[in-house]
Amino acid sequence: MTAALAGCGTSSGSGDVTLKLVAADYDVAGGESSKAYWADLVAEFEKTNPGIKVDVQIESWNDVDRKVAEMVKAGKAPDVAQIGAYADYAAADKLYTADQLLSIPVQSNFLAPLVDAGEQKRVQYGLPFVASTRLLFYNKKLFNEAGIKDTPQTWDDLQADAVKLKEQTDAKYPFALPLGPEEAQAETMMWLLSGGEGYVDPVGNYSIGSKTNISTFNWLKTNLVDKELTGPVAPGKLNRKDAFAAFTRGEVGMLNGHPSLMQAAAKAGIDVGTVALPGRAGKAKSTMGVADWIMGFKQNGHRAEVGTFLDFVFSDKNVLDFADQNDLLPSTISASEAMEKDPKHKDLREFLRALPTSELPPVGKTSWAKVSENIKGNIGKAVEPGGSPAIVLERIGRAAATAESAE
């Protein structure tokens, strides 16, 4: 079955309806784990649903969103897509809503922040397939060498610890701050949340250039970057991948990380500690959550069959199997509770506890893709020598408001 799914898409079994599923490949090592996951899931599904076949196409993360977009544009939308974004398709009325697809127990089982992020104009279209959140990672060996006994709880603590790491250890990056174009929008959001605001105001409008957000980046520039506590690479040039690699080499004292870094660091022999992101005067009110999405397209009219399939996808066993396989977090309440109780996942408990109160980027806005690209390309300038957080954030904020008004 795994071999059969390795091509552009195959079907298995026999039945009255064939669903087309396009899904992303999560196997960063280039293996077959994602293909095997879907092969096993589909085989089990078809046993109990003989009237429905599922034709699976696995694509790399580099290609999957583009491939689905091309299929939709050509009038050949898949029945189900597991990709990175849903907003454009929802706005174009191409998707079934969650309540058109899922049984009530399944729909009510998603974690609340993920439901909110899957909504467009208060209607849920994006079904959260898998999730992640962020914590502050620190190198225990370097902390011991620097004589740091307590984990940082506030920004002042974080700065004081970074100074000790710089002065008393050989850490190249006391605090690694990846504001390079790979994922600057995520690092930025973590800091804005820890400063008390975020990308949007309480009614959902962009507030990137707010006084609170400018104050956050002023602190960051003055107290970390200008004091040379962020390492030899300028934050605007440092990508997340490179920061994570430096952490696994033992060169980073602290950075903001996600669950997958735990395993990579452990394999490299790094003794890792994690703690909730510090805020201005204590623990940040929330941290950033992330979700990937699965959705049902209306074009082929297979609403009932898609719903039956997705109810099966979101069973505890399937949700846990995928999260476990990829060092990610379940998107459902029941699977999260099961994972937290499982001793083998004790390293993920802090992440699991952070997820229910996390805040996700405004992925329900069709303007978000453009705004995110603007942040990636320009936020690093806010902390450059002579840079102005106010000018940079206000400029990004004005562009975001213009993009939002065009939605």
Structure tokens at 136: 């502050």
Q: How far apart are CA 351 and CA 241, in angstroms?
A: 20
Amino acid at position 334, single letter: S
Q: Is residue 99 over pLDDT 60?
A: yes
Among residues 99, 77, 71, 81, which one has the least CA distance to residue 21? 81
Q: Which residue has the tokens 């006391």?
A: 174
Domain 135-287+367-405 CATH superfamily: Periplasmic binding protein-like II (3.40.190.10)
Q: What is the structure's pLDDT at 327?
A: 87
Percent of the chain with pLDDT over 90: 89
Q: How far apart are CA 23 and CA 349, in angstroms?
A: 28
Cα-atom radius of gyration of the chain, to the nearest Å?
22
Residues 6+ positions from 72 with CB-CB distance below 8 Å: 89, 94, 297, 299
Structure tokens at 173: 């990056």
At 192-207, the pLDDT tens digits run: 999 999 999 999 999 9
Which helix (H) or strand (E) is 132 found in, with range? strand 127-133
Mean pLDDT calculated for residue range 150-161: 97
Question: Quick one: DSSP state of residue 42?
Answer: H
Confidence of residue 126 (pLDDT cuts 50, 70, 90): very high
Q: Which residue has the tokens 């998707």?
A: 95
Provide the CATH topology of domain 4-133+290-357: D-Maltodextrin-Binding Protein; domain 2 (3.40.190)
Q: How far apart are CA 283 and CA 154, in angstroms?
A: 7
The full set of domain ranges for the chain reads: 4-133+290-357, 135-287+367-405
Instruction: At 286, give phi and psi (nearest 5°).
Output: -160, 160
Do 4-133+290-357 and 135-287+367-405 agree at the fold level? yes
pTM listed for this prediction? 0.88
DSSP SS3 for 221: helix
Mean pLDDT calculated for residue range 295-308: 98
Q: What is the structure's pLDDT at 101?
A: 98
Confidence of residue 11 (pLDDT cuts 50, 70, 90): very low
Neighbours of 207 (CB within 10 A): 20
Amino acid at position 136, single letter: L
Q: Say if CB 345 and CB 179 are below 8 A apart.
A: no
Q: Is residue 1 over pLDDT 70?
A: no
Q: What is the structure's pLDDT at 14?
A: 45
Reported as half-sphere exposure (CB side, CA atoms, 13 A), residue 194 has a value of: 28
DSSP SS3 for 195: coil
Q: Is residue 8 over pLDDT 70?
A: no
Confidence of residue 62 (pLDDT cuts 50, 70, 90): confident
Residues 6+ positions from 316 with CB-CB distance below 8 Å: 332, 334, 335, 338
Measured in whole angstroms, how far is the alpha carbon of residue 214 from the centre of its chain? 24
Confidence of residue 3 (pLDDT cuts 50, 70, 90): very low
Percent of the chain with pLDDT over 70: 95
Confidence of residue 141 (pLDDT cuts 50, 70, 90): very high
Q: What is the structure's pLDDT at 226?
A: 98
Q: Say if CB 279 and CB 191 are below 8 A apart.
A: no
Q: Is residue 5 over pLDDT 80?
A: no
